[in-house]
A and B are shown apart, each in its own frame.
Chain A
């Protein structure tokens, strides 16, 4: 039997594994529930700003029989806050969120404060990663980054941003490039702190919102700029990119994303994704609605569906609602553990 870190590494590299890993990266792909807060003795909002609490909460899911990873941070506001966005830290039931933008328009982005990946909450996340890495417990530490369009939409009103992508492309591109470099710098810091895997989620940069032209013009180059930089820093690190929403308009473009794994929403058919992505590890995509409101049997059935549809890595389709019952989350992992890969399922998971 493989330990969770080795299994995830192999799955990301699309090497043979005994069975797919079952993970939830954290960040936008929230893995924290109220029950896990109670079990760990650490909760929101304190855990967003304290490295010991963040590390403890990030590591709560694995011993509880939920996911085979540690994941942090628990929001998408760390980078934005470092760049001057005002952030409300939320409460036990709601995540930190941006409440005021530092920019009124795209002009003036050059005046944003310098991004220091070692200070403020960015430094707290890095310290929490260090603590988790020191455990050396065979469980992968997944550090999460906010995608470039989502970060841009946290610094300037998204309506203004989306219009500028069309009306002011040179300035928009320069802005997104700069943000991509900030995100990369933060990612490098987290890798240096000992993260095994980096997950990048860009819910504001979906094909559904942007359409294929803008997706190709902005999202692809920015994401690849970050992915390449991370690889250069640490070639053995795993890289996951999560893309929200429907994919059919951008499927043909996805194969140019240089990540190890692409993670999809519940609306995406992994079988269809495979047709466009023969060489990429596919991750997903158990409905978070079922995880929060369904019964364990329903979650198990959806998990089996992901497995038989060719998921290399089983994961929730999106961020989990934090009222999701432990019984449901455990049903996911239990189903994956008991899964015997059939020949018709996915040739990539022969019994080791």
Chain B
């Protein structure tokens, strides 16, 4: 392992170890050593978040752990992103709209999906929670999104997901916008029933599904 690889490994480890303070220093040192910011993000921070995601899938890590890992990742991004070359900063990323459907304010799952998709290179437009049906569609239009991610934790509000799919259809957006749903009461069967493109059981699955649906099997980062 050369010096650059060792630094990348340290950045990655800091994300996995949830060290949101140490990572700031490591990120600065990495830039000062003359290494490209993009590599630091991809090979360090994002690598760490992917490892954390794998630990989450293995049930070594849980939601609270992933949140702390993402704190560290964002702290590192805060240091490295300003050093990206202009063309990387301006590169067109796939855009996704995400939110919790109206009637529900539980958004931990949505926040995790947002973090993991952001990590995977998506430009995320987060509408927050308790979001009216029409707002998803309006936002998808406005930002020319290729993906809409819907979440709910409540059985009482899952019917709103079907309404969003129907409205996208009505607006002739179903050919250009894929819809992924998630949340405790919904399922793959429910996704099929309402005409969504897929159901993801957790944030890591959501990333895989988003990439598959958009034909982005290769990394889409920055």
Contacts and interface: CB of A to CB of B under 8 A. Distances in A.
Given A94-B102, A159-B67, A318-B184, A323 B159 contact: yes
A95 B62 contact: no
B31 interface: no
A288 interface: yes
B155 interface: yes
B190 A166 contact: no
A211 B185 contact: no
Contact of B184 (A158, A167, A265): A265
A318 B155 contact: yes
B140 interface: no
B63 A210 contact: yes
A136 B26 CA distance: 69
B56 to A, nearest CB: 10
B111 interface: yes
Interface string B123-159: 0000000100000000000000000000001111111
B184 A244 contact: yes
- Contact-residue size bin, chain A (C-beta under 8 Å from the other chain): 35 or more
Contacts, number: 94
A209 B62 contact: yes
B154 A95 contact: yes
A170 B216 CA distance: 45
A35 interface: no
A41 interface: no
Nearest to A91: B103
Given A159-B108, A162-B108, A203-B153, A321 B158 contact: yes
B63 A319 contact: no
Contacts of B104: 94, 97
B79 interface: no
A181 interface: no
Contacts of A214: 62, 64
Nearest to B155: A321
Nearest to A98: B105
B107 interface: yes
A171 interface: no
Contact of B59 (A94, A249, A289, A323): A249
Nearest to A77: B105
A318 B156 CA distance: 10
The SS class assigned to the B binding surface is loop
A249 B56 CA distance: 12
Nearest to A292: B155
B107 A93 contact: no
Classify chain B: how many residues form its interface, as a range. Answer: 20 to 34
A18 interface: no
Nearest to B105: A97
Nearest to B61: A211
B62 A166 contact: no
A244 B193 CA distance: 24
Interface in A26-78: 30
Interface string B87-131: 000000000000000111111100100000000000000000010
Nearest to A90: B103
Contact of B155 (A88, A90, A162, A289): A289
B156 A95 contact: yes
A99 interface: yes
A289 B108 contact: no
B108 A209 contact: yes
B109 to A, nearest CB: 9
Nearest to B189: A289
Contacts of A97: 103-105, 130
Interface in A194-243: 203-204, 208-211, 214
A293 interface: yes
Interface in A116-163: 158-159, 162-163
Given A97-B103, A97-B130, A318-B155, A158 B108 contact: yes
Contacts of A265: 184
A265 B186 CA distance: 13
B71 interface: yes
Nearest to A154: B105
B65 interface: yes
B157 A288 contact: no
Most chain A CB within 10 A, of B61, B67, B154, is at: B154
B187 interface: yes
A152 to B, nearest CB: 13
A319 B59 contact: no
A99 B104 CA distance: 10
B213 interface: no
Interface in B144-189: 153-159, 184-187, 189
Given A93-B103, A162-B108, 19 more contacts: A93-B156, A97-B104, A98-B105, A162-B67, A166-B65, A166-B68, A167-B68, A209-B62, A209-B64, A210-B62, A210-B64, A211-B65, A214-B62, A293-B190, A318-B184, A318-B185, A319-B154, A319-B156, A321-B156
Interface of B: 18, 59, 61-65, 67-68, 71, 102-108, 111, 130, 153-159, 184-187, 189-190, 193
Q: Which 3 A-B pairs have the closest CB atoms?
A: A211-B62, A94-B103, A321-B155
9 contacts: A93-B103, A158-B106, A159-B111, A163-B71, A204-B106, A211-B61, A211-B64, A293-B193, A321-B159
